[in-house]
Structure 1
Amino acid sequence: MGGWRDMSAEALEDQYSPSRWSPRLDRDTIIDAHLAVTAAGTERARASAQTSLHVPYGKGDGEKLDIYFPTDHSGTFPVLVYIHGGYWQCLSKDESGFAAPPLVSQGVAVVAVGYDTAPRGHMDTMVLQVRRSLAFLVEQYPEIREVAQRNSPMRHVAPAVPAACEVLVVVAQHDSPEFRRQSQEYSQALRAAGWSVSLLDLAGVDHFDVIEKLSENSYILTQVILNMISRA
C-alpha cells in the first residue's frame, strides 16, 4: 500500500501544503484570504454571542480559550470544541470563533482553544495543552461531553467501548491526495476497531473553505454537526 513512505521530500511537502491544491486561489493568496475570512467571522461572532474570552485553562501565556455560549445556557448544553489548524505554526483561537453563530443559535456552545504554536510550542506540548483545556472544560462545565484527540489519531485507535461517541471524519474534494488517503485510512481503522464512523467527502471545497463555510447556517457540515448533536 502506497503513501507518504514512497514519496520524495519534495513530493511530501506538496502533499502537506494545502495552499497548493485549491482551485479557487493561488498558493500565495489563499492563506491570507483564509485569515481574512476567519478573522472577520470571529469578530462577527464575538459581537453577536455571549462570550467568555481569553479564559485561562493553564498557567502558560498561550493557554487560554474562548467560549461562545448558546443563546439559552441556563441548563445543560452540548459543546463543540474547535482546535485550530495552521501546520502547527500559525493561526490562533482569535480567528477560530467564526463557526459559532449557527451553532449557538441552536443551543450549542463553541469553545475555541488556544495553544502554543511552533517554534515556541513542541508538538508534545501542544497535545498536553489541548488535553489540559478539555480537562478544564469538563471540570468547569461537568454537564458537557468531551472528546479528546491525540496528536496522531492513527496511532491511538482503541477498541470502541459501550456508549462510545459517533465519529465523523470530513475531507475536502480539493484536499491533497495524501490528506484524502489518510482520512480514508483513519476511517477504516476506527471502523475495524468497532467505532461508528461516517466519512463525509465534501465536493467543491478545499482545505480552507471546508471550515470557513461553518459560519453558514445552511452549510451541509453545519447541519450534519447539529444533527449528530441532536441524536446524542
Structure 2
Amino acid sequence: MSEFWHAFSREKNDQQYNPTLWTKRLPAEELLPAHIAYTQEKSTLYRAKGVDSLAFGEGEFSGSIDIFRSAAVPANAPVVVYIHGGWWQWFSKEQFSYLAEPFNNRGFAVYMPGYCMAPDWHNDAPMESIVKQMQYALAAILNQAEEHAAPAVYLVGHSAGGQLVTMLQHTNWQQFDVSETAAKKLKGIFSLAGLYDIRPLVDSFVNDDIKMSLASAASVSPQLLPLAEQECPVHLLLPEFDTPEFFRQTKEYQQKLLAEGHSCYLKLAENRDHLDVIEKLVESEDEIMNYLLSHMQD
C-alpha cells in the first residue's frame, strides 16, 4: 500500500482531496452551489409525494430514517439504503431524497438514514460515533427487512457515504440485536466516489472542524481493517474526473479486498465528476444507474 501521502503538504492535501477543483464543466466556485440548488429542488419535489420515517438507535446514537415507498412498491420489496456524503459535516438525508425516485420506479423501497454531523458530537471520537450511529441505523433496516420478508438489502453511499457503507462490513450484527437471517439479507455494497484511507485528511481542510486524530482516522479507514468474513460483493464506482488520490485509494482498496479473497469490482464512471456521478442517476438510461440495478439482483 502506498503511503507517500505522508510527504504531502497541507496545500497538496487540500488540492488532492477537493474534487471540485478537478472538473471542467463549471468554474470551481460555481460547482458546489449548483449541486446544492439542483439536489435541493429535486428533493423538495420528490418529498412532497410522501415520505415515511423509522426511528433507530439509542441515546446519542439514535436518529431517524426516511423511507420512500411509492404505491407500486410492495412491503416485501428489495431495499436500497442510501447514505449521503459531505465530508461527514455537511448536507443531510433530506438533500438527496430525489435519489429515491429512480429506485422506487424500479420496484425498490429506499431507506435514507441521517447522521449527526462530525463537529456536533460531544466526544473525542466523532468519526467512530458516526460509524456506530450508522450501524444502529442499518440494524433497524435489516430487522425491518426480515419482518417484511424483503429478499435483499443493498447499501449505496457517495463520497463520505462511500466510506460509511464500506465500514459497515466490519459490524458484528449480533451486538446490535440483528439475527443471522436478517444480517444475510445484505447482498451488495456500492461506493460511489468513496475514500478508504482517512488518514491523509487529518492534515487538510476536511479536518479543520472535525479535529480527528491520526489514530481516529486509522480506526475508520476500511483500507486498514481486515475482513474476516464477507457475505456480499463490493462495487467501487470511480468518477473519471476525480483526483489522483481518489484513484489511488480506490484501486488500492480493490487490491486489498481481492488479496483477502473477497469479491470487489471497480467501475469507471466515464465523463463524470465527483458530483454529477449522483446528479445523473435520475436520468433515463443512465449508465451508472443501470450498473447499480444490474448488480441488484437478489
Quick one: distance in 1 between partners of 2:101 and 2:4?
Answer: 38
Query: Which protein is richer in helix relative to its size?
Result: 2
The reply on whether 1:81 has 2:81 as its aligned counterpart is yes
Shift of 1:61: 9.3
Quick one: distance in 1 between partners of 2:120 and 2:282?
Answer: 30
- 1:132-184 CA-partner distances (Å, limit 9, x unpaired): 100111122313436553242212241454xx212110111111110111011
1:224 counterpart residue number: 291
What is the SS of the residue equivalent to 2:129?
Answer: helix
1:211 counterpart residue number: 278
Of residues 141, 145, 149, the one that matches 2:166 is 149
- 1:72-118 CA-partner distances (Å, limit 9, x unpaired): 34352221111111011101001122211111111112211210113
2:127 counterpart residue number: 123
Quick one: distance in 1 between partners of 2:248 and 2:70?
Answer: 36
User: Which consecutive unaligned segments of at least 5 residues does structure 2 have?
Assistant: 156-164, 168-219
Q: Bigger shift: 20-29 or 59-68?
A: 59-68
Quick one: distance in 1 between partners of 2:247 and 2:116?
Answer: 27
Does the 8 Å CA contact 2:80/2:153 hold for their aligned counterparts?
no
**C-alpha distance 124-171 of structure 1, shift in aligned 2 (>3 A):** same
Q: Once the two structures are aligned, what percentage of the paired residues are identical?
A: 32
What is the SS of the residue equivalent to 1:74?
Answer: coil
Q: Which runs of 4+ in 1 moved over 6 A?
A: none
AA aligned opposite 1:195: H
AA aligned opposite 2:251: Q
Does the 8 Å CA contact 1:97/1:110 hold for their aligned counterparts?
no
The reply on whether 1:51 has 2:27 as its aligned counterpart is no
**C-alpha distance 65-116 of structure 1, shift in aligned 2 (>3 A):** same
2:141 counterpart residue number: 137
Quick one: distance in 2 between partners of 1:36 and 1:218?
Answer: 23
1:23 counterpart residue number: 24
Question: Relative contact order, CA 8 A, sep 6+: which one is greater?
Answer: 1
Give the alignment's Cα RMSD to 1 decimal. Answer: 2.1
Shift of 1:46: 2.0
Q: What is the TM-score with the length of structure 1 in the denominator?
A: 0.89
Quick one: distance in 2 between partners of 1:75 and 1:95?
Answer: 25
- 1:15-65 CA-partner distances (Å, limit 9, x unpaired): 1112211211222221111111111221232234x5214x32235597222
2:250 counterpart residue number: 183
Does the 8 Å CA contact 2:35/2:275 hold for their aligned counterparts?
yes
Quick one: distance in 2 between partners of 1:214 and 1:43?
Answer: 17
What is the SS of the residue equivalent to 1:223?
Answer: helix
1:72 counterpart residue number: 72
Q: What is the TM-score with the length of structure 2 in the denominator?
A: 0.70
What is the SS of the residue equivalent to 1:207?
Answer: coil
Quick one: distance in 1 between partners of 2:4 and 2:289?
Answer: 31
AA aligned opposite 2:227: A
What is the SS of the residue equivalent to 2:115?
Answer: coil
Quick one: distance in 1 between partners of 2:20 and 2:224?
Answer: 26
Quick one: distance in 1 between partners of 2:94 and 2:33?
Answer: 15
**C-alpha distance 184-71 of structure 1, shift in aligned 2 (>3 A):** farther
What is the SS of the residue equivalent to 1:82?
Answer: strand
**C-alpha distance 205-72 of structure 1, shift in aligned 2 (>3 A):** same
Shift of 1:2: 5.3
What is the SS of the residue equivalent to 1:149?
Answer: helix
Quick one: distance in 1 between partners of 2:8 and 2:265?
Answer: 28
Quick one: distance in 2 between partners of 1:177 and 1:213?
Answer: 22
